[in-house]
Amino acid sequence: MFRSGPSHSWSAYDELLCVQLNRGARIVWVRSLFRLVSRLGDGLFWYVLMLWLLLSREGQALLAVVHMAATGLACTGLYKWLKARTSRPRPYQVNQAIRCVAAPLDHFSFPSGHTLHAVAFSTVLLAYYPAFAWLVLPFSLLVALSRMVLGLHYPTDVLAGGAIGIVVSALSLVLLR
């Protein structure tokens, strides 16, 4: 499994960690939990949260919600461009020990779009409403973890998605101020 050379060792550790995390999907309740989290991370969680903000804050949240939506659109364009350029296969396509236990939204692995969006939405939301940290930070962490447990992404896909989400949302916050 391990190959010699510095670039191969990162890849081997990435794959090994993915295999280890994916073993959690053999436990029914773990698999069910992470499927649910992943499904909510498709956008439903964020759309409901944005709608709730608009309704509960009587329009005061409009700027935050528009900012989140615009950041999400920018992230979607960037992540689709990156996926088309890198064309990295998903872990379950490369390693027989990794089981895919949820339907992928697209063909490629790098970067994790779910993680990218979760981090970007959380960062923007927390800039406006820091009190929501108790909700969005654990949820974003679960989304990131779900991608590996379900066999859909390598840890480096998730880390890259998180990093890109932070950069895009931070840039959007700087541009808006």
Q: What is the CATH number of the domain that holds 125?
A: 1.10.606.20
Averaged pLDDT of the chain? 91
Say yes or no to pLDDT of 92 above 50: yes
Please compute, for residue 177, the number of CA atoms within 13 A of its CA located in the half-sphere on the CB side.
9
- Structure confidence by residue, pLDDT tens digits, 46-77: 999 999 999 998 889 999 999 999 999 999 99
Residue 1 lies in a domain: no
Give CA–CA dist 156/112, Å, rounded: 9
Give CA–CA dist 115/121, Å, rounded: 10
Residue 81 lies in a domain: yes
Residue 138 lies in a domain: yes
**Which structural domain range is residue 112 located in?**
6-176
Could you tell me if 114 and 160 are in contact, meaning their C-beta atoms sit under 8 angstroms apart?
A: no
Number of domains in the chain: 1
